[in-house]
Amino acid sequence: MNRWAGDPRLRGPLTPLIAGAAISAVVALVVAVANACVPGSGRPEARPSRPAAASGAPVPSPAGTPGPITPPGYAPDRPVLGRPFADPSVIKVAGTYFAYGTNNGEAAMPVATAPSPTGPWTRTPGDGLARLPAWATTGRTWAPEVVPPRPGQASYTLYFSARRKDADVQCIGAATASSPAGPFVPVEGDPLVCPRQLGGAIDPASHIEPDGTRYLLYKSDARETSSIFLVRLSPDGLGIAAAPVKLIGHESEPVLVEAPDLVKRGGKYVLLYSSGWYFRSNYQTRYATAPSIEGPYTKAPAPLQSTEAYGRRIDGPGSADVLSDDTGDYLVFHGIIGYHGGANVNRGMYVAPLGWDGARPVVRGVPVRYEAEAGRLNGCVSALDRPNASGRKAVGPFDRDGCRLEVPVFAPTAGRYTVRTQYANRSGRDTDLELSVNGTAGAPVRLRATGGADWTSAAADVELGAGWNTLGLRRLTGQGQVDYLELR
């Protein structure tokens, strides 16, 4: 969650704009009015971007609760903010979503708003950060995180990283504001976190336990020893209450680890983080799980998001932030939208629905492959050795009535998905299969004749429920072999 957003102007001083205060006043008025319209409410709705830990995913919205607006043209693999908006984090206040990003050529902390997690997002004029504290210099204000007021508090808290004036290291500071739009005024004095012996600290991320205990996660910034740390905070979130604890290091990772985010799902703590270089295609989102907040954390074997996983539709996805509201979870992250030489890149903001298979996160928009041979096979469909197939196996031959394959698949959210069937059909004529969902006939799938060792695919759209579903393929005519099903 670090580094420049790509505009060379941001290397110079960034002066807060007077317009920021005006926007903040308008936002505060809107929040107050919205709050007054909610019966029995004495303060604005304010859900943390990183919610208090829970044993499972958010409870579904009650029947009749309106879902978020999905604007025309939205897709989970398209940026919702195409202008530079790196290291995004999002909160919801009184029905409006606020996003905060790393400095760019216009602001030390750019702010954007939307009526829905998926947009449309609009950049607000001005600067969300009134000024930097006395210890910091301008131009490297990275990875902001805003936490709404806790019970008994009146201020929004901002955590950010900035460069020290007297040392070539980044440190983490805090600021407060009466409005989610800012302008945030820094807490003066020493930085909140600044481990010089570890090369400084970046990428602050808040986590609050159900009992109100506050924590801050961060990355130690020295390249050779980059690690994710957790430190307990004072009740107001503005002081350190205990010694930091190392959660994970960069062992086995491409280059380093950074950009932490912590939630609790499926009875476990789930630590999301990034690895790789933020300015290269190898940047990716990974995760680790633990039975307790301090670990030990076990890293998942494969990335949650990567350039390859997206089929290169998103370049270098990372710096992920979990947003939770009454409609579910969303993953807010950035991807590279422009290269300008060396480490100078522009990164846009993306938002994708996020589901949970216990403690395993599943992101909408990342295609997931399910090998056919791992499904349930009946008597006339069996696993076949095929060296050119994915996993070196396929199933078939679907040459008799009643031949059927059933494959369990996981959908992160309810909705319409595309199922791509990878197959070979060397019978010399087309084959027709029926694609069903949870035992109900869905769409026809035609397997065109193929030649030699060629494999090709056919696609069909289906409606899936959130969670596990069963996709079935049943023979109608002809014969063929199925390599895998891919859910998009």
pLDDT digits (tens, 9 = 90+) for 76-118: 999 999 989 999 999 999 999 999 999 998 899 999 999 999 9
pLDDT digits (tens, 9 = 90+) for 308-360: 999 999 999 999 999 999 889 999 999 999 999 999 999 999 999 999 999 99
CATH 2.115.10.20, applies to 8-60+69-364: yes
pLDDT digits (tens, 9 = 90+) for 436-476: 999 998 899 999 999 888 899 999 999 999 999 999 999 99
pLDDT digits (tens, 9 = 90+) for 129-168: 999 999 999 999 999 999 999 888 899 999 999 999 999 9
> Does the active-site annotation cover 87?
yes
Superfamily (CATH) of domain 369-487 = Galactose-binding domain-like (2.60.120.260)
- pTM score over 0.75: yes
- The single-letter DSSP state of residue 184 is B
Q: Domain extents for the chain? A: 8-60+69-364, 369-487
CA–CA gap between residue 163 and residue 189 (Å, rounded): 15
Asked if 444 contacts 433 with a C-beta cutoff of 8 angstroms, the reply is yes
Of the chain, the end-to-end C-alpha distance in Å amounts to 27
What's 203-251 look like in SS3?
EEEEEECCCCCEEEEEEECCCCCCEEEEEEECCCCCCECCCCEEEEECC
Sheet of 89-93: strand order equals 46-47, 89-93, 96-100, 111-114, 122-123
pLDDT digits (tens, 9 = 90+) for 414-430: 999 999 999 999 999 99
Q: Can you spell out the DSSP letters for 439-469?
A: TEEEEEEEE----TT--EEEEEEEEE-SEEE
Q: Kindly report the backbone phi and psi dihedral angles of residue 9, in degrees, each rounded to the nearest multiple of 5, phi listed first.
A: -65, -25
- The single-letter DSSP state of residue 193 is B
Asked if 175 contacts 192 with a C-beta cutoff of 8 angstroms, the reply is no
> Does the active-site annotation cover 371?
no
pLDDT digits (tens, 9 = 90+) for 12-24: 333 333 444 444 5
State yes or no: cis peptide before 291, omega within 30 of 0. Answer: no
| Catalytic-labelled residue, pool 258, 329, 371, 486 | 258
**Which strand (E) or helix (H) includes residue 324?**
strand 315-325
More confident residue, 5 or 177: 177
What pLDDT is recorded for position 67?
Answer: 54
